[in-house]
Chain A
């Protein structure tokens, strides 16, 4: 079956195995443009593997990944990335880090931008990130939160079709982390960009996303549980979330707590094995094609 969504990200029948270990098992996923999509799952379930496949650092063992109608290859300017660390180039000042993309290949399909203009544009981004006064500093002179804001600006200036974030706030202290979450939401509201955000923090995922995906290896299907069955992770739940109102108060509401508890049960409980046909995939963009082995009759 082909997904019936022309634009956005489509991951279809994707497998990823390292040797005999299957990490991602016949994964299907569709993300509409403009979505703030968060991905959670137990440690080692393959969250980062899925992100690396979309990023193009690795290729799927089978299946295909399509972004806005075009198959994805190795990393390029169509996708932006913010890592937990090492996103910035230590030998460049903050402003040079942000303008780097414009000075290298430039945005896909655009003319090369003169140095002065790229600098001016980088400055605008820094102002939006409230970092203008730090433009001349080197990354190591900034705090962790500021470094991540620079890294976001550095990616956004390329206007990528999708911005991937791999635990971007994982190394920050709790207060800075909450500031950054609010900051990112504000930015997403302004720019209406597509975000694919991987985190191991359930609260963060539920607070930020308009959609939360749960990737887990804790499920069952018609392949049974024999010795020969080598199961990898699937998306076991797919929730549409109400757009978070600004402010972190929502984190203390009962609905929020119930959602967290539900996701914890669906994805993080090794004893709770749903059958693949019963996954909670009610999101309008969700789809899943199971093989005959996974679902007999």
Chain B
């Protein structure tokens, strides 16, 4: 019997077919869009809902390469830099706080007993529901947006880090103590380095939520940012700007994910090695 190429659990698509299969849904979606856009434009050459690729390239080019006459900046670059600043600050703060909190909650039973129920409770609050509170207490500037991302992410990261600590074999803790480790050394020299790769994985998974919080905050109160621009031009039904912006955000998110994945392999070559024991 030959190995099937596509059907069933024994299928081995191979490299070339694998690429082709991966490209297929993308091409289908693109084709569907072009077809629908074409139909609408035949009907009404001024259609704004489904712009043609040429219109989008034109609009995106204007956003990217033409100076804003009022501010003298390039809108797309300015939006991107502002958004990334907020996103990275929020994620970095949430990751550091989550790491430290989760490490201590997981390793020291007293800290766990004190903080674990509270953090679990916090993680159940829908961050968008408290967005008005954040704008009132932190103002409509950068701080409120960063805080939304922080509050949305850190309880999750802390809980995940706590689980990662508890999953370490108890033998390791004992072994470290027999090697003369103090409790602080145990926490920061034995446990911390071992949960760092898991932190990177958790951050990778949280990036989608971070973008959601960022766009939501920018949509409500901002004067630049990718989310701000999308919600601004929405008033003019400028789909020729919105769609390239969405693709741009997706590309940035994808590249961030890729960068984190490679940094994981590069910085922690030992990680995952235990699985094949």
Contact = CB atoms under 8 A, between A and B. Distances in A.
A79 B185 CA distance: 18
B194 A55 contact: no
B177 interface: yes
Interface in A114-162: 138-141, 154-155, 158, 160
B179 A77 contact: yes
Contact of B273 (A57, A87, A90, A107): A90
Interface residues of B, number: 26
Contacts of A104: 176, 179-182, 185, 189
B178 A140 contact: no
A81 interface: yes
B178 A77 contact: yes
B178 A160 contact: yes
Q: Could you tell me the dominant secondary structure of chain B's interface residues?
A: helix
A90 B178 CA distance: 17
Max chain B C-beta neighbours (<10 A), residue from A55, A80, A91, A155: A91
A139 B277 CA distance: 10
Given A76-B180, A89-B194, A101-B179, A81 B273 contact: no
Max chain B C-beta neighbours (<10 A), residue from A75, A76, A85, A138: A75
A91 B270 contact: yes
A155 B178 contact: yes
B169 interface: yes
A75 B174 contact: yes
A69 interface: no
Interface residues on A, range: 20 to 34
Given A86-B169, A140-B270, A108 B180 contact: yes
Nearest to A171: B277
A42 interface: no
A90 B274 contact: yes
A116 to B, nearest CB: 19
Given A89-B190, A140-B277, A83 B178 contact: no
Contacts of A89: 172, 175-176, 190, 194
A106 B179 CA distance: 8
A98 to B, nearest CB: 10
Contacts of B268: 91
A81 B174 contact: yes
A74 B270 CA distance: 30
A100 interface: yes
B43 interface: no
A292 B172 CA distance: 42
A105 interface: yes
14 contacts: A57-B170, A75-B177, A85-B171, A86-B169, A90-B194, A91-B194, A101-B179, A105-B185, A107-B180, A140-B273, A140-B276, A141-B273, A154-B179, A155-B178
Q: Nearest 10 CB-CB pairs, A to B? A: A105-B180, A140-B273, A101-B179, A86-B169, A75-B177, A77-B180, A86-B171, A138-B270, A83-B171, A104-B181
